[in-house]
Amino acid sequence: LVQGAMTKLVPLAPDSWIPGGVPDPLIARKHGLIGKPVSRLDGALKVRGDAAFAAEHRFADMTYAALAYATIARGRIAAIDTAAAEAAPGVVLVMTHLNAPRMATPPVFGSSPSAVGPADLSILQDDRIHWNGQPIACVLAETQEQADHAASLLRITYGAEPSTTTLAGAKANGIEPGLFMGQPLLNEIGDAEAAFAAAPHKVDRTYRTPRHNHNPIEPHAATLAWVGDELTIHDASQMVTQQAQTMADTFGLATDKVRLTSPYVGGGFGSKGLWDHQVIGAAAAKLARRPVRIALSREGVYRVVGGRTLTEQRVAIGADADGRFQALIHTGLSVMTPQNSMPEPFILGTQAAYAAPNILLKVEVARMNMLANTFMRAPGEAVGTFALESAIDELAVELGIDPVELRLRNEPDKDPTNGLPFSSRHIAQAWRDGAERFGWHARPPRSTRREGEWLVGVGCATGTYPYYRMPGAEARITLTRDGDGVKALVEVAAAEMGMGTSTTTAIVAAERLGLPLDRVEVGYGDSAIPGAIMAGGSQQTAAIGAAVIAAQTALVGDLIKLAGNDSPLAGLSPDEVGCDDGGLGSLADPTRRESYASILGRSQRDSVSATKAGSLPLETMHWSMHSHSALFCEVRVNTVTGETRVSRFLGSFDCGRILNLKTARSQFRGGIIMGLGMALMEETQFDERNGRIMNPSLAEYHVPVHLDVPEIDVIWTDIPDPHAPMGAHGIGEIGITGVAAAVANAIYDATGTRVRDLPITLDKVI
Ligand code: MOS
C-alpha cells in the first residue's frame, strides 16, 4: 500500500460539535481544516528526495530501455539492420515488430493515437508507420548510456507512402463533423447567421492557436517487472486504475495480475496516461526476462506523447446598441490524425458563457499524419476562450462599452444552450471583487500610460470550466486502535499529479471523522485499491469527497451496531449521530457520546472498516454547473523590440467552496502561468514537409520561467454550491482558461495591435 500522508501537522483546534449527516457538515463547518492553508502532507518527502518517482524505483537485475523513432510520416519499415546495435557493449535485447511478443491493441485509454474513443493502433505488431516519431524499436542494455548508444546504431530503411502533413492538404482531403467523447460538437439555438446579419453592431474574426506539446517537469517513465505472469509497474499516471486495466487487456491478463502504483507524479496536465512506452517496456521485459526502466528523454516525450492540436476559430457576435448579444457564433476547424478521436473541442466554454437568443457552435475536423493529440489542461476551453474573449473585447471597443460592463450585460439567467438552471453562479461578484482589487475602473486613460520605451496596457477576460464528477469512486475507511485513541486509513483509487489531492483527501476525511489531521493517512495511487477515479476533467476531488462521505456514513452505522446496548449511543440511528473529537455523539444531546477507541475496545476489535461508493453524480443532470473566473492583466510592451512583459495579473474565481486554501491558490496560479505561456510563447514547430516536430526540447519550446511571471494575485468568492457533495467545484483547469485573451486584450490596449494568432511573439506586435 502506498502511503501519502506521513508528515505530522499541528492540528487546529477541533470544533465543539460537527453533525455527521445532512446538511453536509463540510459546508456548515466554520472552524475546521476546510478553507485553511494546509501544506502538502507529502511535501517534505519530495523536498528531501524521499518520494520515489516512477524512474527512481529499481529492481534487482534491472535493464534500461532506449527507443528508436521513425523519421517518416507514413509508410512502412522496409528493413531494420540491428547487427551493430546487438553487438554494442551492454546490450541485452533489441526488440522490433519482428520479435516483439504478440499483444492486443490497447483499448480506449491505450496507445498514443487515441486518447479517447475506440480507434486505436497496435504497438510494434506490424511494419506500419503512422507518424513521424513513432517508436519502432527498443533497445535494452545494462546502463541507460549503453542503451542510448546502441539505439543510435540501428539502421532503418523505409518504404515511404503518400502522407498529409500540411494544413492546406488536410483541408483539401475533406472536412468532417467533430465528435468529443462520442458527442457531436454542434450546438444550434435559433438562426444565428440571420440574426448576426441583421444586428446593428458586430465583430466577425478568425483566431488561430498552434499545436502545444506536453512538458510536465517529470518526463514520462515506468519501471516494471514480471514475476511469473504478474506484472508490477511503477508508473507516472493520472489514471492508475484505467491504465492497469488496459495493460492487463493488452497482455491478455486478468486484471488482478497487474499492479500499478503511482503515488508521486511530477505533473500530468492530461498527458500522464498510457502511451506506447509502457507497453513497449513491458513487452521488452517479457522478452528479456528482466525488469526494465523506460524513461523517455524530453525529446522522447515530444515523439511519443500527444499534445494539444491546432485550431482555426471564427467568432462572430452581433449586438444591439446596448451591447446585448443577438447572435453568438463560434465555429471552426481542428486537426487530428486518421485514427484519433479527439479534436480540440474549443466551443465547450462558449456553451454556458453568455446569454444570446441565437447561438451557433460547431467544430469540424481535418486529418493529418502526425502524432496524435490528446487532453491538455482545459482541452477546448483554454484555446476556445482565447477566441471568444478576444472577440468580446473587440466588440467592446466597437461599441465603446467597458468590457467588464459588456460581459455583465450578457450574463445569462439560465444555461443558454441546455436551458438548465445554474447550480451556483456568482461570476458578477467575481467581476466586481476583481475589478475593485485590480483598480480596473480607476485605470488611467490609455494615452498617459507610457513609461519610457514601454507602452502599458490592461485587459480582462473571463473563463468557465464545467463541473464534472465521474461515477465509480469508492472509499474504504479503516479505523484502527492506536494507543489510547484510533488512527484512520482512507483508501481511494485516486491519482495525485502533485496538485495536493492526497492532502485534500486527508482534510476531508479528518473533518468527516472528527479526527486530527495527523491521525489520518491516505492510500491512493495504487491499482490494488478498489474503485476507479482518475485525475482528469477537474473532477477528482469532488468524486473522492462523495465517496469519503458515503464511506464515513456507512462506518457510523457499523460503529453504532458495534457499540451495542451498553453504549450511551444505544437506540440512536446513524442520522441522529455525528462525529467529533475522536468519537460519535448524539446530535440532540451532546452528553450521549462514546469515543471510537471505547467502542472498539468494548467490542474487542482492533479495527473496523467500511467501503462505499460515492453517490451517482445526478446533480449534473439537474443543474448547469461550472467554475468561473474574472481575469485582469497588465502588460508592458516594448516599443523598440516588441516584447511583452506581463507586469500584473489578478484571477478572481467563483468555484464553490475552496477546500484547501494553499493548494487551491497554487492550482489557480499554476493554471494562469500555463496560460501566460500559451499567450506569449508556447508553440510546437511542426515541419510541414515531413510531419516532424522541430523543437522537441525546453530550449526551443518556450514555457514561462520565473522572470516571465509577475506576482499573481488570486481571490475567490468561496460561496459553496448547495448542489455539489462538498459545495466544491473543480479548480484544476479553470486557471488557464481565458488567460491568453486577457493578455491579448491588454496588448491591444497598450499598442492598438490586435493579435489573433497565438503565441503573441514580438514579431507580431511591431
Ligand atoms: Mo486533464 S486535461 O483533465 O488532466
Axis crossing angle, helix 739-751 with helix 381-399, rounded to the nearest 10: 30
> Which atom of ligand 1 is the closest one to the Cα of 535?
4
Ligand 1 centroid, distance to 501 Cα (angstroms): 14
Yes or no: is domain 54-162+219-265+272-304 CATH 3.40.50.2000? Answer: no
Cα-to-chain-centroid distance, residue 515: 31
Q: Is the CB of 376 under 6 A from ligand 1?
A: yes
Determine whether the shortest distance from the Cβ of 467 to ligand 1 is under 6 A.
no
Ligand 1 atom showing the smallest separation from residue 269 Cα: 4
Grid cell, residue 276, equals 506506447
For the Cβ of 691 lying below 6 angstroms from any atom of ligand 1, the answer is: no
Alpha helices in 594-640 (DSSP H): 596-602, 619-622
pTM beyond 0.90: yes
Catalytic residues: 733
The C-alpha cell at 323 is: 451591447
735 lines ligand 1 (CB under 6 A): no
Query: pLDDT tens-digit profile of 303-340?
Result: 999 999 999 999 999 999 999 999 999 999 999 999 88
- Pick the closest to residue 506 from 660, 688, 290 (CA basis): 660
Strand pairing category for 258-261 and 230-235? parallel
pLDDT at position 183 is: 84
Rounded Cα gap, residues 85 and 89, in angstroms? 9
DSSP string, 627-669: EEEEEEEEEEEETTT--EEEEEEEEEEE-B--SBHHHHHHHHH
CB 341 within 8 A of CB 314: no
Instruction: Compute, in angstroms, the gap from residue 212 CA to the centroid of ligand 1.
Output: 14
376 CA → ligand 1 middle, Å: 6
Q: Mutate which of 116, 377, 496 to test ligand 1's pocket (most atoms within 8 Å of Cβ)?
A: 377
Is the CB of 379 inside a 6 Å radius of any atom of ligand 1? yes
Residue type, 420: L
Nearest to 37 by CA among 66, 17, 12: 12
Instruction: Judge if the beta carbon of residue 270 lies within 6 A of ligand 1.
Output: yes
- The dotted CATH code for 25-32+470-616 is 3.30.365.10
| Nearest ligand 1 atom to alpha carbon 270 | 4
Q: How far is the CA of 40 from the centre of ligand 1 (A)?
A: 21
Mutate to test the pocket of ligand 1, among 678, 733, 734 (most ligand atoms within 8 A of CB): 733
What are the residue ranges of helices labelled H in 483-595? Answer: 501-513, 540-563
* Domain ranges in the chain with CATH number 3.30.365.10: 25-32+470-616, 382-468+621-765
Pairing status of strand 712-716 against strand 644-654 = parallel
555 φ, ψ (degrees, to nearest 5) = -65, -40
Q: What does the block give as the cell for 311?
A: 485550431
Residue to mutate (ligand 1; options 269, 373, 734; most atoms within 8 A of CB): 269
Q: Measured between alpha carbons, how far is residue 49 from residues 44, 46, 220, 267, 284 in Å?
A: 8, 5, 18, 16, 29
Report yes or no: 97 and 156 within 8 Å, Cβ to Cβ. Answer: no
User: Do residues 352 and 465 make contact, with C-beta atoms less than 8 angstroms apart?
Assistant: no
Q: What is the pLDDT of residue 8?
A: 25
Supply angle C-alpha 258, 263, 267, rounded to 5. Answer: 115
Return the C-alpha cell found at 214: 506536453
Q: Where along the chain do the CATH 3.90.1170.50 domains lie?
A: 54-162+219-265+272-304
If one counts every other C-beta atom within 10 angstroms of the C-beta of residue 47, the result is: 10
User: Are 604 and 573 spatial neighbours (Cβ–Cβ below 8 Å)?
Assistant: no
Which atom of ligand 1 lies at the shortest distance from residue 376's CA?
2
Residue 499 CA to residue 659 CA, distance in Å, equals 13
- Residue whose cell numbers read 453504549: 567
Q: Beta strand pairing status for 179-180 and 474-482?
A: unpaired
Ligand 1 binding pocket includes 272 (Cβ within 6 Å): no
Check if 307 has its Cβ closer than 6 Å to any atom of ligand 1: no
Asked if this assembly's ipTM is beyond 0.90, the reply is yes
Question: How many Å lie between the centroid of ligand 1 and the Cα of residue 37?
Answer: 24
CB neighbourhood size of 42 (10 A): 23
As a whole number of angstroms, the distance between CA 45 and CA 56 comes to 14
Ligand 1 centre and the CA of 448: distance in Å?
Answer: 42
- What spacing in Å lies between the alpha carbon of 214 and ligand 1's midpoint? 11
> Could you tell me which CATH class the domain 382-468+621-765 is placed in?
alpha beta
- Please name the residue whose Cα sits nearest to atom 4 of ligand 1: 270
Q: Specify the ligand 1 atom closest to the Cα of 538.
A: 3
Ligand 1 neighbour 537 (Cβ under 6 A): yes
Q: Ligand 1 within 6 A of 466 CB? A: no
Q: Is the CB of 377 under 6 A from ligand 1?
A: yes
Weakly modelled stretches of the chain, pLDDT under 50? 1-30, 110-119
CA contacts within 13 A on the Cβ side of 711:
2
Q: Torsion angle, CA of 367/250/301/382, rounded to 10 degrees? A: 60
| Ligand 1 center–CA 491 separation, angstroms | 22
- Compute the distance from residue 272 Cα to the ligand 1 centre, in Å: 9
